[in-house]
Amino acid sequence: MDGAGVTAAARVRVRVPSKVNLFLSVRGLRPDGYHELVTILQTVSIHDTVLAKLDGSASSAHPAARRFMDLAFTQEAGPEVPPGPDNLAVRAARQLMGLVGVGTAHREDEGTVPVTRLHLTKRIPVAAGMAGGSADAAATLLALNELWGTELDREELRQIAAELGADVPFCVTGGTALATGTGISTAQVLCRGTYHWVVGISEQPLSTPAVYRAFDEVGRPSEAEPDAVLQALRTGDTEALGAALYNDLEEAAFSLRPELREARDAFLAEGALGALVSGSGPTVVGLAASAQHALELSTRVKGLFDRVEIALSPAGGPEVAVD
């Protein structure tokens, strides 16, 4: 037990999955500039890992018992991922520190205050429409909540998550969810079965705001309903899911990157049950009928992408391991 009467961990590892949007309808532009969405998100088995450690005496672990703390961040990630305060993992950590009343240590306190060390290992492709940054922010909130013994429940964490980005609350929970509004309010959706995906990754990123801007030029708000996807998930019908996959942002992504349309069409021509751009892209996913089919399909489309991975969905939620 620490000074505040709460047990704190010394080391917490959170493995967090990425997502695909099985359905995404853009309803229109809101007065506040955000787009109104109806979307179905599902976690996919490509994971990032956030490791959180506390250096300092156990008695200083609880933030309520400490006014100041140092935060150190390191990562194994490509140069496109910000290494400092702009990283969503760091922003999540700062947000939580602010909320629980902990300030950053002053220089004169160096060596006397506890240090929270965060280490991010990235496997989720960056700026790829797979919510990589959001997943890292969610993993950080879960890790620090455990490390510091702050005892916020998932709903409280989801509220903090909403301040960090539209996909972050979903990433806190994972599974399969229907999201409406700007994507922040979500409801879990019944999903039977496991789905096999071939994930076509392009190293050249596509900025989400740029895709939404393109949507405002080339796209039209739709009234598409997610019923067919929900029904397919409820019954575990892979073929029906393949036929029902839907994304209003596809045309916008194609207008910026025409080769993505060819990649999507190639998936279909090579026998995928369905294929689409994930979220704002540029990742293109193809749905396979089985693990064996996914393997065959991946070989056939390999030449079209920088990297191809096979993944399963739904991939549960973040897994929190405490040492």
Q: How far is the CB of 109 from ligand ATP (least distance, A)?
A: 27
**CB closer to ligand ATP, 118 vs 191:** 118
- CA–CA dist 294, 247 (Å, integer): 22
**CB closer to ligand ATP, 38 vs 61:** 38
Size of residue set near ligand ATP by CB under 6 A: 22
Tokens 């194994």, located at residue = 76
- CA–CA dist 144, 46 (Å, integer): 22
Q: DSSP code of 97? A: H
Whether 153 sits among the annotated catalytic residues: the reply is no
**CB closer to ligand ATP, 148 vs 212:** 212
Query: Binding of ligand ATP at residue 134 (CB under 6 A)?
Result: yes
Query: Binding of ligand ATP at residue 200 (CB under 6 A)?
Result: no
* Single residue of 38, 97, 102, 136 touching ligand ATP by CB under 6 A: 136
The catalytically annotated residue of 19, 48, 70, 136 is: 19
> How would you label 248-266 residue by residue, b for 16+ Cβ within 10 Å and e otherwise?
bbbebbbbbbeebbebbeb
Residue 319 CB neighbour total at 10 angstroms: 16
Only segment of 32-40, 82-90, 236-244, 300-308 that touches ligand ATP (CB under 6 A) = 82-90
3-class secondary-structure state, position 278: coil
Only segment of 125-133, 187-195, 250-258, 259-267 that touches ligand ATP (CB under 6 A) = 125-133
* Single residue of 50, 51, 118, 131 touching ligand ATP by CB under 6 A: 131
* Single residue of 176, 208, 238, 247 touching ligand ATP by CB under 6 A: 208
Query: Binding of ligand ATP at residue 230 (CB under 6 A)?
Result: no
Phi-psi region of 303 (alpha: psi -120 to 50; beta: other; left: phi over 0): alpha
> How would you label 154-172 residue by residue, b for 16+ Cβ within 10 Å and e otherwise?
eeebbebbbebbbbbbbbb
- CA–CA dist 90, 65 (Å, integer): 22
Query: Binding of ligand ATP at residue 49 (CB under 6 A)?
Result: no
- CA–CA dist 180, 132 (Å, integer): 20
Query: Binding of ligand ATP at residue 167 (CB under 6 A)?
Result: yes
By annotation, the residues acting in catalysis are 19, 167
Q: Which residues bind ligand ATP (CB under 6 A)?
A: 80-82, 86-89, 126-134, 136, 167, 205, 208, 279-280
